Structure 1
Amino acid sequence: MAYTSLLTEVYRLQSLDCTDKAVQLVSREIQSQPGCSELWYMRALCLLKLEKYKEAAHDAAKALELGANFDANLVYGKALFFLGKFLEAKKAFAEGKEKAGPELSTFNQFDQWIDWSEDRIKRIARKEAKTTCKEMNGHSDEKTEKTEESNPPAANVMPAPKIKHDWYQTETHVVITILIKNQKAEDVKVNFTEKTVSVTAPLPSGSEYSLELDVCHRINPELSSFKVVPSKIEVKMKKVDGIHWAALEGDGTEPTVKSAPGEPTKTQSVPAYPSSASRKHDWNKLEADIKAEEENEKLEGDAALNQLFQKIYGQGSDETKRAMNKSFMESGGTVLSTNWKEVATDKVDVKPPDGMEYKKWN
């Protein structure tokens, strides 16, 4: 199978939550092309998704041995990290960062993973130091010991970004807001694909913030954008299908497309924007209330007259509308008739108000 076709099929199987079948497919290709680094990398990526970290580390190491690029370092480092081998993971990330160079390494979040690895190394060192101190002194601070035990540096738990992000949606877009202040637009990197969005930005501490999401439904990368303001980063993703998203990240369910613009399908609830707000609003009810308020509003003078004419025109028959249009246009706006029989045959004359004279502009 051609590499491009294989890659497409692997992505399809992963989207259907059939990553194990993707592994089998790539394994067959490896048997016929054992020297292809891309195949070993592809299988490592699938195994990482299946949380088979030992096998993923093996395949990523093989890919690197065959000359794979820095992407394999990232997979190798992640597999080692989740196996609790933080020193080896840090080394893999550092080598990948050096391969990628300053621009690409930022996009691939090497700095963030190096920071996380260093954090785990320090936590383990602190714990070992306390254990050594306890053995030497024959006692320990019971409160400190319990705190450490209640917060173990679990190797298989993904570290959460410290920066908060939120999201909401409109009928056409999904917007993510990331609460990082005082960023420069040129320092923020955002990458879109049909099913993913990646955001990286430098933090005041010198480390890198990164956010990687597998989004719930497809987006249009070309029509998606982002902007940086003093208080936040705003990422605006263009929906491919005009549907309401039940969640920001993918859940494996197929999208439900609207049957007509503005009308929800049977399986789709009416959206309440913004989706992340704690207080929900019935926007259809609000729209109806505004219309009722406009209709009941008491206007005066020309505004009341215009409202009356609009109501007559809007509720009138086709003949009424034709009469109003013909009389108004032919009379230069001085006559407005609703009787089609009176104005149908002859031209409507200009009838200026008393004391005024009608003149044509040259």
Structure 2
Amino acid sequence: MTEHVNAGNAAFVDADYEASLQHYGAAIAAGGSADAYSKRAAAQLQLARYAEAAADATASLKLEPTLKAHWRAGQACFALHQFEAARAAFADAAKLEPSSRELKRWLRKCDAEVECATGAAPSAVMPPAAAPAPPLAPVTDSSKIRHEWYQSSTHMVVSLLARGVAKQAVSVTFGEATVDVAIKLEGGELYELSLHLYQKISPADCKWSVSPTKVELKLKKLSPGKWEALEGSGEEKVHAINAVPSEAEEGPA
């Protein structure tokens, strides 16, 4: 089962989410661990398969109530407009990490959506795997765009979660230790992000892409190693990678 999870992690880092689903699925078939379900939920989220992500996160939580599984359940339910269920999941995550500013921000977003909801209140029950995800409109409010990241020994991958962005509306500039992104949203608003990176990168080897749900930046590290953070001053602080090959790349935590 471990080899399937490691293969899924490697595919996830390479943004081959369909392949990562297959590997995590094989791990689940071999033993059905909470970790495998949670990581498959992360891959489902990347592919905007929110109902499936909610189902996998729920399966993971039944086996082991981890922070990441609660978080992914919340993200999936929020995308499905199940705001009360999302809030419950983020509240459970906050019990495990009460100092998280990101979780507090998600809780505020859920509260705002519940307050603004009209008609029947959203169900607090996790949606079943068969529930269809509603169409998602392009993002028009820059304040609703957030970014997340993960890494391997050689790359940092940054995802800007922005739906329905046209490739021609995106501008990305890679510097020696900086990244600047500008996105012109529908409606004319401009979203801008400037990152001052923890360590230097190789601009010529960096890439970016646009999918229906996000803008993804793949940053090539100038020196292999594990960064302690995405941003900051990490001179002489990068950890050397001494792990065995199967652990050299990190998938979703």
| TM-score category, normalised to shorter length | 0.5 to 0.7
Aligned to 1:101: 98
Q: Is the 8 A contact 2:84 2:114 kept in 1?
A: yes
Aligned to 2:106: 113
CA distance in 2, matches of 1:52, 1:70: 20
The answer as to 2:54 corresponding to 1:57 is: yes
Of 23, 26, 29, 1:28 maps to 26
Distance 1:66 1:217, change over 3 A: farther
Alignment of 1:200-279 (within 5 A): 235-243=196-204, 250=216
CA distance in 2, matches of 1:83, 1:212: 15
**Alignment deviations for residues 57-81 of structure 1 (CA, whole Å, 9 cap, x no partner):** 1110111111141111110001111
Aligned to 1:89: 86
CA distance in 2, matches of 1:80, 1:88: 6
TM-score normalised over the length of structure 1 = 0.39
TM-score normalised over the length of structure 2 = 0.54
Q: Is the 8 A contact 1:60 1:72 kept in 2?
A: yes
**CA apart distance, 1:14:** 2.9
Distance 1:73 1:120, change over 3 A: same
Larger RCO: 1 or 2 (CA < 8 Å, sep 6+)? 2
Q: Is the 8 A contact 1:196 1:212 kept in 2?
A: no
The residue type equivalent to 1:162 in the other structure is S
Equivalent residues, number: 176
SS in 1 for 2:197: strand
Of 162, 171, 174, 2:143 maps to 162
The answer for unaligned runs of 5 or more in structure 2 is 121-134, 163-171, 179-193, 210-214, 223-253
Q: Is the 8 A contact 1:219 1:238 kept in 2?
A: no
SS in 1 for 2:216: coil
CA distance in 2, matches of 1:164, 1:51: 15
SS in 2 for 1:51: coil
Q: Is the 8 A contact 1:64 1:73 kept in 2?
A: yes
Distance 1:114 1:57, change over 3 A: same
**Alignment deviations for residues 275-312 of structure 1 (CA, whole Å, 9 cap, x no partner):** xxxxxxxxxxxxxxxxxxxxxxxxxxxxxxxxxxxxxx
Give the RMSD, CA atoms, in angstroms.
Answer: 4.4
Q: Which moved more, 1:58-67 or 1:115-124?
A: 115-124
CA distance in 1, matches of 2:53, 2:109: 20
The answer for unaligned runs of 5 or more in structure 1 is 130-153, 166-189, 199-210, 225-232, 258-362
Q: Is the 8 A contact 2:149 2:156 kept in 1?
A: no
Distance 1:64 1:23, change over 3 A: same
Distance 1:47 1:245, change over 3 A: closer
SS in 1 for 2:196: strand
SS in 1 for 2:204: coil
Greater share of helix? 1
Distance 1:18 1:191, change over 3 A: closer
Aligned to 1:132: none
Q: Is the 8 A contact 1:197 1:212 kept in 2?
A: no
CA distance in 1, matches of 2:175, 2:37: 29
